[in-house]
A and B are shown apart, each in its own frame.
Chain A
């Protein structure tokens, strides 16, 4: 075993401050949502509610249904059953653009930025500021560069040169820019797809910091991950997804890291697996 157990540290970072009380109207809500692809049931009876100014973590192992859940929230897929509401009103998104127009921004793990393009071009991609007659479509390049720098600084990202290709940044910084971009363009809900899974410890730290920065600005953050350590440090609410079902729900202050790890690994399942491996070794 490791010489030093970091669990207390991680738990200390999470703090004991109780999660904010439930908002009257959640920013996002899924009620008994299910999704089937042909005969495959990807999700069933999922209930989830995400409040503004909180971080809601969705934890799950591979194949638990996290990707399907993200795709429903971001408007890629429609739920087969159940109700998906935004700000208390049922919605029926037919594309990610619809979700985006309702203030739901999704930062996909590797598909958030175009590596060869400069940081400021990436920042304004899809939201380019126009100068002069709209028909000509001239981009306000100078002010775009300034705004990029300022908006990134506001989120605590200090980059000297917004003209460098974004591919020269580290993975964590790229995710951070993508988060800052979503926040800057007024995202009310920010869905992060495994933002730390491909990153080292230090890089993950950068991303987690900006997750909290977004939360402080009143954004409802949905943080999808399979890393309980990262989740517990930033999360207010925790949902555990296993084989397409929500198997547990936790609230900050009443959850220990051990609980999350246990629940994620499927408790009993892990126990029987341990026995099985043990019997093989004998």
Chain B
């Protein structure tokens, strides 16, 4: 075979038009870059606009991380789910459902706090499993399936809470066995140099690290990217796409349950409407953090940075004495600009490829 040239001699694939990858391109390829730059800019803006002198201090940090942690814990797993190509709109209401479920187990059935937490996580796992199974079995868009779950749970939260307690609030959990020990783990305040940091921040950071390792360093992470990037190609290569997605629905639901338990212990009770609307915060955080809405790309750290930006806004806007009512508008603008920046950067890094 004369035209089968030995390697390195006449090699069609060695294209001299392909330059060596410069170091900055590998940085530009990082999906969380846009979010990180955004976070820095927003931090500077709020520090400059701050009227209290507190924003850029430890106590300011305690404030914005307090807002960001519960959003970030769920957003990280919503991000993994989005990378696998699916949405979970029921993640917000699951925070309420699990808080109420746990609260009712304690107040109505007299359960101890620790067994209640285990039962709540198990309940959330079942809800996530059902979500996932419905999505992979019916092949309906997860947007529709989880929108259904969202409304089913929203109604059930209200109806069951009212039916059992006669009010729209579950309370009286602070008398239960193990309340104090559980609070140490899930709802403690840790004073650092005079500022009170929430223990939830530790969970947030730990889960972000865990999700990042899962996504970038494990076989399962490879499957997450492949399932969202091209489910058919992934199946052809032998990736269990359906199992991957179902597991991610379970993890997302359980992360919401964890936050539900945290709120229940911290507030010593739970409103029936808790968590509703939060699902959009998670999706915004994930999208700001570089997750593609079509799946296949994104990062867990990015979603956490997205949550942090929300914390900046939630604390920075009142500190700047701006009208608090504009917080949502601000987040909308952030979402729009961050996604635009992310897409522009990734197009550049991929060498002008469309999409």
Contact = CB atoms under 8 A, between A and B. Distances in A.
Interface of A: 13, 15, 96-97, 100, 106, 108, 111-117, 121, 124-128, 130, 136-139, 141, 153-154, 156-161, 163-165, 167-168, 173, 176, 202, 205-206, 209, 212-213, 216
A209 B3 contact: yes
> Top 10 closest A-B pairs, CB basis?
A126-B238, A126-B237, A114-B229, A128-B219, A116-B296, A161-B21, A125-B237, A137-B219, A158-B14, A114-B230
Contact of B222 (A113, A121, A165, A213): A121
Contact of B12 (A106, A130, A160, A205): A205
Interface string B187-230: 00000000000000000000000000000111111100110011
B218 A160 contact: no
Contacts of A205: 12
A179 to B, nearest CB: 12
Contacts of B3: 13, 209
A100 B226 CA distance: 19
Contact of A112 (B220, B233, B239, B351): B233
B236 interface: yes
A168 B222 CA distance: 19
Contact of A126 (B5, B8, B239, B297): B239
A128 B222 CA distance: 8
A137 B230 contact: no
B4 A212 contact: yes
Contacts of A176: 13
B225 A139 contact: no
B328 interface: no
Given A97-B238, A111-B236, A114-B233, A137 B13 contact: no
B11 interface: yes
Contact of A156 (B1, B13, B20): B13
Interface in B225-258: 225-226, 229-230, 232-234, 236-239
A114 B4 contact: no
Interface string B14-31: 100010110000100100
A117 B296 CA distance: 7
A139 B296 contact: no
B138 interface: no
Contact of A127 (B218, B221, B238, B350): B238
A70 B287 CA distance: 40
Given A114-B296, A164-B21, A168-B351, A125 B4 contact: no
Contact of A157 (B13, B220, B350): B13
B26 A163 contact: yes
Contact of B20 (A124, A137, A139, A160): A160
Nearest to A177: B13
A112 to B, nearest CB: 6
B329 interface: no
B229 A112 contact: no
Contacts of B353: 167-168
A116 B234 CA distance: 12
A60 B5 CA distance: 30
B299 to A, nearest CB: 13
Contacts of A128: 219, 222
11 contacts: A15-B1, A112-B233, A113-B230, A125-B233, A125-B237, A137-B218, A156-B7, A158-B7, A160-B20, A167-B350, A216-B1
A162 B192 CA distance: 45
Nearest to A213: B4
A16 to B, nearest CB: 12
Contact of A114 (B5, B217, B225, B350): B225
B114 to A, nearest CB: 26
